[in-house]
Structure 1
């Protein structure tokens, strides 16, 4: 799926939390309704079969509880998309990327091969299952790992054994570390840890721009990879570096890969399409978080079409949830490329693919916070629909059930759930941007302020009863911590229902007043 990712290291966030966040955008021509659900250990499959690739995998018998934000329809599998477990490990999968043709020739994608003919026919060939993909990854990894590193290792093992039918990037985090995994062909992979004082920005491109082989095959402080990655690169002549290796490095041949290399050059691909669809998004996110640099003049180091925009960098100020929410719903505000703006020309205002698009199904930012009890550590900031017209609200992940307003999304339009209410607001407000902007801005402010206040109050209530593990009796009245968190989630959902319904009422009224067939004269005088 199309999406945009931003990752915030713990020293780069204003709360000291690790934050992983991603838009999940439906493919062009469809809209995938989303829901927020908790998966209990007894509901986790022990024998898993992929809907799309038909690969069958036996799973361990010790899953933990976790919360996810999957599609409503199961026609393409679970597609958990974003989740956090009771062990305070978070994942977001996946960021669709692309590798070059040389990689695909050396290690082809593992695609489903349908059966040919019927059993008993002379030319009958049985079905050959494909590998794992976006549909499967969180379900196969998240409930079985205790740390982000363990998650990288488990995902890497699955990729090496079963392969994948698509190229993807996957984020795995815990309270200390964020790791970003990119698949390389059918069975290979690389992973890089986000430096604690940095953020990383990733559109739909292979993004990691530096890799240290010596660390990946040594201490693994910041890098991990497939066991045979060096041989894979050397054996298939994937390195394109000029004179980077020498006899002094102790290598067998001078053309072999040095310890440090740029994966974008070795594995990635670029095209003019990237300069419309991908690189402008990374440019805008970094423009916002490092605003003092020159981004707009003819002499700017990085432009919307630059292929060398850094994968990660240190922000000028610590990053907040509001920054993340704004960026993942942004549309090139204050530039000539804003489709709702007045700068530039009609052509420039529709030149690039915005981050916040009509096809966004949800944005989920998962915050793992070090200064609260373990039971309350994971907060999932969730918004449904196009981020331009809504905002994220906080929900605790460590719960046994989720609020019906976010859980029971219907396949078809209904104002009884948040997803469709938000999408209706967006459809109306898009046509009346200036008339509805104030109402939407007030809604955003109210939801964020209430959400932060609710989280602080809930954290205090859990901490007052003691720093206890999930499921223990945390509250003074004997209720477990999970019950306190579920109660907070219900309060957040109730607030959202009230304020979102009011916003829908307001934009319907404002939009109605500005319809093309509006006529002021009535059929009777009003005193």
Structure 2
């Protein structure tokens, strides 16, 4: 909802969802039911991985395309606005940064509108903005200015000009001091070391402070959320000079019981002046983080939502710790499920995850890492309820996935008035556009909630779980990559995760349209890629496989054999990083520095021992993304069979010479077969065995000369 207005002949437009129409006659308040952005902060002491998270949902219209891109450095950048007369020129070359912008068709064909969320090359991240309001008293003494900086320009200036979060705070404060602010907004500005919340409170008054490490925050466009800070501690708080003096001189300054200035109550609208849609979202946020308000702090009215919310605070202690990445991302989609403010049961209730969210982002900031990889930008380019977030190393990116629509894309698929039109979502979306695919998925699931919401959400939850798990694996590679190789890896990772997410979601959308066209709603919609248990994908995502080669889990082992002996097969086992897809195998013979394919393309290689020699083999294992790893070299040695041992030689056979008497001892005995032998044998037989033995012994004595 944008409201055109004129000022000095110029035609300007201003967002009416997170912002509101301004012009020569600036409005005191916005239609607060239209303010539906929600900001979330979770410090590291409450997270499962020890990282801190800060992000926001951007709400405007049901079918409003958002564009992710990269702003290249420019010399002496001139920053102007299409929502106010803000005009400022930098005196240096700007820094490269990522953005999430509106389409030029929404802003008089300007390509610089609402950079909104991004990270620059120095690791500074910015989310702009969460629009709030000021009360009539403050508006009277310090109204917004028609030349001031505003939501249109905040992120571009901060990311383009700041090396640290503190630099961004100081620059923005100086610009408001000099030119004023055109709106009342909250902006988060972070770097690897700290996260600041900057609050533009009125025309020239502002305050910024470091977000607390011991409390979380959920803010749905409420400027009256109480907080206490030490305004004199310049390490943790910066502010305009007139922050206290301006309201004090007008009799508007409010304090807590201990005398500490109550900035929120001083500048913001009263508790009673917030819409039920806004206060309902606040109560939903408290429920989500297990810190529900006491029942006497608010009233729930059926058909309306929360009223009579009293003294809400900017920060609170969650009911537990250990919040996971997925849980924190889903905080931007909660609808109060299962609570007294369940928007699925009462359509009149406002919801954090509502039908007019156009984009959500969450910055995951990790301690102890260099600025180029310390922050991961999780980005969902449509309504959060039925979307998935993709991880981006935005500080390093120099390329943009072709599956992100660019600023020159045809935006007509948004449909008439950007309303939630099912008929329009059934039309074929622009090719290769993740933004439009998610837009159509949301329209169809939201408007067919009873039959399609559960199956769609279950599938997207399973997909998100795999993205997060595989991002952890990819992140391990990124951390171990030298600085000079990280940009290429960041670009490659972005290309892979965005393309594969698009392909999964595009197939889902096709099946949703087919289900609706079939007209049989007797059974709920179930995506074909959702497993039987309803908690995983049939075909796993292969994001990590584009970055990480397979891992060898069993190496082939060499051995020594005799020629012709039966050998044990060489075997290799491997696993892909994602657990998805088929692995391919090929065995090579290593000859010197050369690899010669054996032609064997299985995980098992049969060893040939028919030839004597030493043979070196390895197996190359590749995933379906083309990344490969080589196994260890297995050396197979084949030796010739050992020669059989030579037998002990037999003495040569001899033929006795009967023509001469033998000279050998005992040769005096007649030899068997001669006449004397026959006579002697006969005589012995007659005399008995003893005679034989005796005769032999007697003869031996005679041979020794003892006759």
TM-score normalised to structure 1 length: 0.81
Q: Secondary structure at the match of 1:206?
A: coil
Alignment of 1:149-164 (within 5 A): 149-164=166-181
Give the aligned partner of residue 437 of structure 1: 453
Give the aligned partner of residue 274 of structure 2: 274
Match among 206, 215, 229 for residue 189 of structure 1: 206
Give the aligned partner of residue 176 of structure 1: 193
Structure scoring higher RCO (CA < 8 A, sep ≥ 6) equals: 1
1:489 aligns with 2:520: no
Separation in 2, partners of 1:333, 1:71: 31
CA deviation vs aligned residue, 1:134-162 (integer Å, no higher than 9, x gap):
00011111222222222211111111111
Moved over 6 A (4+): 300-303, 515-518
Give the aligned partner of residue 313 of structure 2: 310
Q: Secondary structure at the match of 1:36?
A: strand
Separation in 2, partners of 1:74, 1:19: 32
Change (3 A) 1:221 1:278: farther
Separation in 2, partners of 1:290, 1:265: 26
Give the aligned partner of residue 238 of structure 1: 252
* Contact 2:451 2:521 survives alignment (8 Å): no
Separation in 1, partners of 2:264, 2:103: 35
Give the aligned partner of residue 328 of structure 1: 332
Separation in 2, partners of 1:446, 1:153: 43
Separation in 1, partners of 2:76, 2:469: 37
Separation in 1, partners of 2:519, 2:282: 36
Change (3 A) 1:273 1:406: farther
Separation in 1, partners of 2:118, 2:186: 15
Match among 231, 242, 258 for residue 216 of structure 1: 231
Separation in 2, partners of 1:52, 1:69: 18
Match among 58, 81, 97 for residue 24 of structure 1: 58
Give the aligned partner of residue 120 of structure 1: none
Match among 120, 131, 152 for residue 85 of structure 1: 120
Match among 391, 394, 417 for residue 391 of structure 2: 394
Shift of 1:106: 0.8
Shift of 1:514: 4.2
Give the aligned partner of residue 47 of structure 1: 78
CA deviation vs aligned residue, 1:270-325 (integer Å, no higher than 9, x gap):
3656241212212111211125x565xx5568974323222112222133322232
Give the aligned partner of residue 58 of structure 1: 89
Match among 91, 94, 98 for residue 67 of structure 1: 98
* Contact 1:18 1:177 survives alignment (8 Å): no
Q: Secondary structure at the match of 2:310?
A: coil
Separation in 1, partners of 2:412, 2:272: 37
Give the aligned partner of residue 660 of structure 2: none
* Contact 1:339 1:350 survives alignment (8 Å): yes
Change (3 A) 1:351 1:272: farther
Give the aligned partner of residue 508 of structure 1: 513
Alignment of 1:507-526 (within 5 A): 507-514=512-519
Separation in 1, partners of 2:500, 2:313: 40
CA deviation vs aligned residue, 1:457-491 (integer Å, no higher than 9, x gap):
3322233233x3xxxx23xxxxxx11100100011
Separation in 1, partners of 2:378, 2:401: 14
Give the aligned partner of residue 383 of structure 1: 380
Change (3 A) 1:311 1:325: same
Shift of 1:334: 0.9
Q: Secondary structure at the match of 1:95?
A: strand
Separation in 2, partners of 1:380, 1:307: 35
Alignment length, in residue pairs? Answer: 459
Change (3 A) 1:428 1:81: same
Alignment of 1:104-183 (within 5 A): 104-111=139-146, 130-183=147-200
Give the gaps of 5 or more residues in structure 2.
1-17, 19-34, 301-305, 414-428, 524-707
CA deviation vs aligned residue, 1:8-63 (integer Å, no higher than 9, x gap):
22323333223211111116xx7431011111213x76222222223221113132
The more displaced of 507-516 and 456-465 is 507-516
Q: What value does the CA root-mean-square deviation take over the aligned residues?
A: 2.6
TM-score normalised to structure 2 length: 0.61
Match among 45, 49, 52 for residue 15 of structure 1: 49
Give the aligned partner of residue 451 of structure 1: 467
Change (3 A) 1:371 1:442: farther
Change (3 A) 1:240 1:464: closer
Shift of 1:439: 3.0
The more displaced of 164-173 and 373-382 is 373-382
CA deviation vs aligned residue, 1:166-223 (integer Å, no higher than 9, x gap):
11111111223221111121111012322112211111111551243xx323x32433
1:227 aligns with 2:216: no
Separation in 2, partners of 1:168, 1:284: 22
Separation in 1, partners of 2:254, 2:192: 37
Separation in 1, partners of 2:252, 2:390: 45
Separation in 2, partners of 1:75, 1:205: 26
Give the aligned partner of residue 443 of structure 2: 427
